[in-house]
Structure 1
Amino acid sequence: MAMKSYPLEKAFTFIEPGPVVLVTTYNNDNYNIMTLTWHMVLDFTPRIALATGPWNYSFDALLKNKECVLAIPTVELAEKTVCIGDCSGKNIDKFQKFGLTALPAKATKAPLIAECLACIECKVTDYLEAQNFFVLQGIHAWYDDEHKEQRRFHANGDGTFVTDGQTLDLRQFMEDKLPFGCK
C-alpha cells in the first residue's frame, strides 16, 4: 500500500484524539462549563495546554481568575458533552440545563463535575495570545474509582468521535521512562 496525498486542512484529525474534556470556570458568582478538544499534555507534573479564545464565554473567566477544572467525561456523557459545547453559558446555567452536579474543589473556585470520571484542578500559568493557548498547571487531581464506565471518547474533528477500546499494557518496554507513581 502506498501513501497518498491528504488534504492539509484535515491533517489535524490524525493527531486530535486526546479525550474530550469539560472545562469548568467561575466568574461573577456563576459556574460555567465549556467542552474542549484542543489540549495537550506538556509534561508529567502535569502541565497542560489548551486552546480557546474570546469567542468562548469561559475565556474571560480564565484570564481574570487564572484557574479552571478539567473534568474528564466518559462515553455515557458523550451527547451531553457535545450539547454543552453547542450553547453558551452567557445565556444559560449549563449545570442545571444538563443535569450535572457541581462539587466544591479543594484549591479553585471552579467546581468539579460529580458525573465525570476524573477532574484536575488547574491554575493558569501563562497565556500565549498569538496562539490562544493557556498553559495550565495541575494542582489537585480527583478520580472516581467507583465510576462504572471507564471509556473516554475522542473527537476526530469532523463531528465524529471514537471511544477507548482495549488497553495494551506495554510498560515493560519503558519502565525506566515512566514517571514516579505510574510504575
Structure 2
Amino acid sequence: MNKQNWPLEDVRHWLEPGPVVLISSRWQGKNNIMTLGWHTILEFSPSLVGLMISAGNVSYSLIRQSGECVINLPDASMADIVSGIGNCRGDSTDKFAHFDLTAEKSEQIAAPGIAECHASFECRLYDDALVERYNFFIFEVVAARVKPEPEWPQTLHYTGGGIFRGDGEVIDRHRLFTKVS
C-alpha cells in the first residue's frame, strides 16, 4: 500500500515525543497547572529536559519569573482531568482546587508537585537562550519521585483534536542492547 499525503499541521499525530504531562508552577504565592505534550529529553547527566510553553499560557509567566516547575506524569485514569486542565485558564481558576488535586511539597524548589500523578520531576531553568524566540525552555531535573507501582503505568499520548492514545504493551528488547549505559 502506498503512503498518502498528510496535513503538515497534524504531523504530531505521528511524531508525538512522549506522554502528556502536567506542569505545575508557583510564583509569588500563585500556583498553576498546565497540560503539556511538547517536551523532549536533551541530556542524561545532568538530566536536561526541553519544554515548549506558549507565551500566551499563564504558566509561561510563572515559570519565566520563578525559573522552575514540576513535570508531573499522570496515568490514563486521569484523562478527564488532563483534558480539563488543558481547557481552562489559570488566571481565573485554581486548578488544584477545581480538579481536586493535592499540591505536594517539593524537595528542591517552591513549585508543588501533584500527589495524584505517578511521578514528579522537579526542575530548575538551565538555559533560556531559546525562550524569547521559540518559547523553548531547557530545564535540569534536580529531584525525582516515582511511585513504585505499577512499574509501567498506562500514560496518555496526545494526537490532536481531543484524541489521546495509550502507550501500549511493554516490549522488552534489552538483550539486543550491547552498550552499557
TM-score, structure 1 normalization: 0.91
Give the 3-state SS of the residue equivalent to 2:165 in structure 1.
strand
Alpha-carbon contact 1:153-1:161 (below 8 Å) kept: yes
Match of 1:71 in 2: 72
Contact residue 17 and residue 39 of structure 2 kept, 8 A: no
Query: What does residue range 1-183 of structure 1 map to in structure 2 within 5 Å?
Result: 1-45=1-45, 46-127=47-128, 128=130, 129-146=132-149, 150-176=153-179, 179=181
Task: Quote the RMSD (CA, aligned, Å).
Answer: 1.6
Question: Identity, % of aligned pairs?
Answer: 35
Aligned residue type for 1:3: K
Contact 1:17 / 1:156 at 8 angstroms: preserved in 2? no
Post-superposition CA distance 1:45-86 (Å, at most 9, x none): 321111112200011111111000000000111110110011
Distance across 2 between alignment mates of 1:92 and 1:56: 13
What's the offset of the Cα at 1:149? Answer: 8.1
Equivalent residue of 2:121, what SS?
Answer: strand
Alpha-carbon separation, structure 2, partners of 1:43 and 1:68: 18
SS in 2 for 1:84: helix
The Cα offsets for residues 13-41 of structure 1, whole Å up to 9 and x where unpaired, read as 21115100000000121211111011111
What secondary structure, in the 3-state scheme, does the structure 2 residue paired with 1:120 have? Answer: strand
Distance 1:149 1:81, change over 3 A: farther
What is the TM-score with the length of structure 2 in the denominator? 0.92
State how many pairs are aligned: 178
- Amino acid corresponding to residue 133 of structure 1 in structure 2: F
Structure 1 unpaired stretches of 5+? none
SS state of the match for residue 106, structure 1?
coil
Paired residue type of 1:154: H
